[in-house]
Amino acid sequence: MTFENNLHKLCLIYGNQQLLVEETVDSIIKDRLKGRQHEWALERFNLHELLKTTGDSGRQNVEDLLISCETLPMLTDRKVIRIDNFELVKKSRNNSEKNNQHLLYETVERIIKNPPESIWFVFTSTATREQDFSNPLFQSIKKTGLIKKFTVYENATPFNWVIQRGDTKGLPLSADAARLLIDIVGSDLMDLDHELEKLSLYLSGEKITEEMIKEHIRGHKHFSVFRMTEALSRKELLPALEILDQQLQVTPREHVRLFSLIIMQFRRLLTIHSMLDQFYKESEIINKISLPAFLSKQVLAQARNFTSVELQNIYSELAELDLRIKFQGSLAPLILQDLFQRICSGQFQKKAG
């Protein structure tokens, strides 16, 4: 990932795939500071901290950024200034006041219009949409600089990336093993890279099986959720409630994520049951649902714990509960507990009247 032939003075790297953002930013900085000591040639500012109105007296402020942008590099011929949380650079609503927001916007606007000859700028953000930025600033960077976006969506599956990354770490992953890893860990590349790194410490060079993956990533934060959806699909109320309680105690604000995983599981069960009703062979179903063989057999067995009508009723109920889960967070634990109890007791088996 190099940019030696295109060293833009202004770079904006953004998105919610933190690993790719960081790797790209590191590569850009490395290219621009080739052969130079980063200690003297790299400065970094966090706009969230700069815009705070209270805090430690020793923290950076907007004036520090302004001074840095106007100061020639010392002990080196060039420097890079990295500015994080770029989405916070917005025009102040009251431009007549010389507040921090106004001063920051003026400073960044001046940088973008006429960057100093010996200073390069790298802006980063966790924002996922172009609309999250100041449009005039974004368009100005787009005209003369480099913009790269790394965003993952709910339906994105970094299948090829996992296999390629595994190869670089000495982990030959089969298609089934890669899908299982994504199914348990999720689609965030930072999480996946961390788990691949751990696996490489124990299993480098070995042929990785699904059982090996399940054995070695038990400590991952998503693994319990994986077990929770399994228990719920088997109508095992107690373990499902225990894991739900554990998850909400550790991460009380992640009820929306938990609910989305439950929806995903029952959507999968409904799809499988629909194919069973159409007399698809098990081998055909396994090929169509794109899950590891080991996991596919489990999900097939779980689907048979429900009738087609039951799964349709559950899925309809999940759709009804969606807004309540999102906007009544304080009630989410009770809503989910009640849902689990009704699923496991078979209350959705009859057609809705």
Name the average pLDDT for the chain: 82
> If you average pLDDT over residues 185-195, what whole number do you get?
79
Per DSSP, 90 falls in state -
Higher pLDDT, 47 or 54: 47
Mean pLDDT in residue range 268-295: 77
Cα of first residue to Cα of last residue in the chain, in angstroms, is 59
Task: Provide the percentage of residues in the chain whose pLDDT is more than 90.
Answer: 26
Same domain for 143 and 229, yes or no, is: no
3-state secondary structure 167-191: HHCCCCECHHHHHHHHHHHCCCHHH
Query: Mean per-residue pLDDT for 19-46?
Result: 90
- Kindly state whether residues 228 and 185 are assigned to the same domain: no
Domain count, the chain: 3
34 and 164 housed in the same domain: no
pLDDT tens digits for range 81-120: 999 999 999 987 765 456 788 888 998 999 999 988 889 9
To the nearest 10 degrees (0 to 180), the angle between helices 332-344 and 255-277 is 20
Q: Which of the residue ranges 94-98, 194-198, 237-241, 324-328 would you say has the lowest mean pLDDT?
A: 94-98
* Alpha carbon distance 149, 130 (integer Å): 9
Would 154 be classed as within a structural domain? Answer: no
182-186, 256-260, 347-351: least confident range: 182-186
Q: C-alpha 265: how far from its chain's center? A: 19
Domain identity same for 169 and 81 = no
Within a domain: 118: yes
Q: Looking at 124, 149, 174, which one is the last position of a domain?
A: 149
Last residue of a domain, one of 92, 119, 149: 149
User: Which has the closest alpha carbon to 10: 77, 82, 101?
Assistant: 82
* Domain CATH for 171: 1.10.8.60
For residue 237, the domain's CATH number is 1.20.272.10
Stretch among 194-198, 223-227, 284-288, 314-318 having the lowest mean pLDDT: 223-227
Examine the domain organization and report whether 127 and 77 are in the same domain: yes
The predicted structure's pLDDT at residue 37 = 84
Q: pLDDT of 62-81, one tens digit each?
A: 888 888 888 877 778 889 99
Asked if residue 332 and residue 248 are part of one domain, the reply reads: yes
pTM for this entry = 0.54
Please give the Cα distance from 315 to 267 (Å, whole number): 7
Residue 15 lies in a domain: yes
Predicted pLDDT of residue 325:
85
Q: Identify whether residues 265 and 232 lie together within a single domain.
A: yes
Q: Are 195 and 166 in contact (CB under 8 A)?
A: no
Query: Whole domain around residue 301: which residue ranges?
Result: 223-344
CA 316 to chain centroid, in Å, comes to 28
Q: Of how many residues is the chain composed?
A: 353
The answer to the question of residue 281 being in a domain is yes
d(CA 257, CA 270) in angstroms, rounded, equals 20
- 164 with 259, same domain: the answer is no
The predicted structure's pLDDT at residue 1 = 39
Q: What is the per-residue pLDDT across 234-273, written as a single tens digit (0 to 9) for each?
A: 898 998 888 888 777 777 677 787 888 888 888 888 888 8
